[in-house]
Structure 1
Amino acid sequence: MLQELLSPNQVVLQTVVPDWEAAARRAGELLLSGGGIEPRYVDAMVDTVRTEGAYIVLTKGFALFHARPECGVLRECACLLTLSHPVAFGAGENDPVDVVIAYGSPESDGHVRFLQELAGLLMRPGFLDELRTCRSYTEVKHLLMQQE
């Protein structure tokens, strides 16, 4: 599913951002340019972290930005960023973060299948380390296809 949502324009590797908010906004730009969200969804992702905290950091070095469907999701969408310089999210031992996915679903339960797939990927030994070494969209797609 993740590989189906990621087009070449939805993957940015080794980008530089100064902090977690800039990472959220950069990811939001990708979702917006892909037509998956309205601009207000970007602010909603940022507001979610500000109000709920860094629970979006699911494991060491990995964060999943998202917000409620009613905050401007037009269709299911996702993007992937890897950061050349990890940034702190305030997530304790799971900081700093250098792999970010942003996701949107127009339905409140539409994220369940996506989260199941993502959990499976994150539990695979070495997956995040391999993702960190990818230098092209083709390498990311190949890695995701291997994981199916």
Structure 2
Amino acid sequence: MLTDILTKDVVRLDVEGLTTPEEVIHFSGQLLVDSGKVKETYIEKMEEAFHNLGPYMVMAPGIAMPHARPSGDVSEPCISFIRLKEPVSFHHPFNDPVRLVFALGGVENDSHLALLQELGRFLEDDNVRERLLTITSYGELAKLI
């Protein structure tokens, strides 16, 4: 599933100039908007979730997974991936700072949870997380997946 969803158009490596969680969430969400998989309003919902729930989306050391509840704003299950050139603090007590960001969009609860679970399994491997910090192209990411 990840290879079908995490396509070249929604991946950016060494993104510069983002200094706040809101900027990171917006940038990663905009990739999904530009790919036609979510509406602009979904970015607003991800930002609202961050403001209302705090840094819950920082799921592991250095890794954030911005998302919002499934809604009509998402046309198909999707994920974007950005690697930040400079880490950003999301104010998480244990898992800051963040360099790897996977924004997720789900159509309904089941697909949303399945996406989170599959991505979680992929990221639980220490070698995968380390490679994500050093890959230089989408092709290397595709092989890693």
- Asked if structure 2 preserves the Cα contact closer than 8 Å seen for 1:40 and 1:71, the reply is no
* Equivalent position of 1:86 in the other structure: 87
Give the Cα–Cα distance (whole angstroms) in 2 for the partners of residues 115 and 24 of structure 1. Answer: 17
1:1-148 matches, within 5 Å, as: 1-16=1-16, 17-70=18-71, 72-144=73-145
For residue 136 of structure 1, what is the amino acid of its counterpart? S
For residue 2 of structure 2, what is the amino acid of its counterpart? L
Deviations 1:41-89 (A, max 9, x none): 0010011000001010000000001111226111111100000100000
Give the Cα–Cα distance (whole angstroms) in 1 for the partners of residues 52 and 113 of structure 2. Answer: 23
TM-score computed with the length of structure 1 as normaliser: 0.93
Deviations 1:103-144 (A, max 9, x none): 101112212222221221222122111111011111111111
- Asked if structure 1 preserves the Cα contact closer than 8 Å seen for 2:13 and 2:84, the reply is yes
TM-score computed with the length of structure 2 as normaliser: 0.95
- Asked if structure 2 preserves the Cα contact closer than 8 Å seen for 1:73 and 1:104, the reply is yes
For residue 93 of structure 1, what is the amino acid of its counterpart? F
Give the Cα–Cα distance (whole angstroms) in 1 for the partners of residues 6 and 74 of structure 2. Answer: 16
Number of positions where the alignment pairs a residue of Structure 1 with one of Structure 2: 144
Give the Cα–Cα distance (whole angstroms) in 2 for the partners of residues 69 and 58 of structure 1. Answer: 19
